[in-house]
Amino acid sequence: MENLTGYLNSDIEAQRAVAAASLSAMLESKKPEKPAAVTEIVGHLAAKNSDQSAIVNIHADSVIKVILSGLEDNSSAEGFTNIAPVEAMKSLNRILPVIEHSRIQDDVMSFAMRLRPFFESGNPVIRATAFALFGSLAAVVEKQTVKETFVQEIHNVMVILLLHLNDENTDVSSTTRAIFKLLLPLLKSESLNNAFSYPEGVAYGRHLRLICSCLGSEYAEKIPMYLNLVIGYFRSESATLRANAALLAGNLLAQASNSANPDT
């Protein structure tokens, strides 16, 4: 690894290509045991995505396949017995700012949908990392068809995002609040923008009322789906999640009632 990385910046195209191909093969065949080594290789390969050489780009692109395979390993959802998914999420978050967005459009939804199990993790570090990555993915969406699909995915995970705005771990709740700033441009809702412009100190119950009011006025057709999803959290092992679910369900029911009977 140490010998190869030096050749990634060589003036000779063949040397850059061989170095990128070798590092890529290392990741695909036998991942380094140290997480830092994985992150280092991913970072080097990600930087080569903007290389002027097409052959270098092809080998550098394989880092995306490696990250996808890492996210498919859910064995660490409740801990760190296997660090592959956590390192995969951190690595992708690291390369998104430097990779050409047009080259990752077809993979965005694959990444986004693989994050769902990690939203439910009992480990707060994994939850925060997954939420942060979901927001980062929203920020790189450019292709219109991908935008439309990603917006639907936002609605699919809206309930769990709202529940974790009041996570028992402050890092998770802060991260969840922060990513809404990245999701809102895709939703194109001025009222939701206003709802999330409130200071962090606002009471969770009051904040939910504001958000649900916006959802009821702009996405009334989604309320039944939200309600079906939130019911599943009534039996959560987390007392905080159960309480949050009850508050969210109450506010959603109010919106459903208002939608059915405007004069109520």
Segment 110-142, tens digit of pLDDT? 889 989 889 988 889 899 999 999 999 999 999
> What is the number of domains present in the chain?
2
Whole-number pLDDT of residue 76: 43
Give the chain's count of helices (H) and strands (E). Answer: 15, 0
Residue 113 lies inside a defined structural domain of this protein = no
- Please determine, for residue 50, whether its predicted confidence score (pLDDT) is greater than 80: no
Domain shared by 159 and 237, yes or no = yes
Whole-number pLDDT of residue 57: 60
Domain shared by 86 and 180, yes or no = no
Whole-number pLDDT of residue 215: 94
Residue 115 lies inside a defined structural domain of this protein = no
Domain shared by 92 and 167, yes or no = no
Residue 114 lies inside a defined structural domain of this protein = no
91 burial class (0-12, 13-18, 19+ CB within 10 angstroms)? buried
Exposure string of 114-133, with b = 16+ CB inside 10 Å and e = fewer, is bbeebbebebbebbbbbbbb
Whole-number pLDDT of residue 253: 94
Domain shared by 153 and 220, yes or no = yes
Whole-number pLDDT of residue 8: 78
Domain shared by 148 and 258, yes or no = yes
Residue 67 lies inside a defined structural domain of this protein = yes
Domain shared by 249 and 166, yes or no = yes
Residue 100 lies inside a defined structural domain of this protein = yes
Residue 110 lies inside a defined structural domain of this protein = no
Average pLDDT over residues 17-39: 68
What is the rounded (10 degree) CA torsion for 74, 157, 160, 87? 30
Residue 55 lies inside a defined structural domain of this protein = yes
Domain shared by 165 and 87, yes or no = no
pLDDT, one tens digit per residue, over 58-97 is 555 566 666 666 666 554 444 444 456 777 788 778 777 7
Cα separation, 202 vs 116, in Å, equals: 27
Whole-number pLDDT of residue 201: 72
Query: What pTM was computed for the model?
Result: 0.76
Domain shared by 95 and 198, yes or no = no
Domain shared by 148 and 100, yes or no = no
For 13, the domain range is 1-75+82-104
pLDDT, one tens digit per residue, over 193-226 is 998 887 777 899 999 999 999 999 999 999 999 9
Residue 117 lies inside a defined structural domain of this protein = no
- Please determine, for residue 262, whether its predicted confidence score (pLDDT) is greater than 50: no
Are 137 and 95 in contact, with CB atoms under 8 Å apart? no
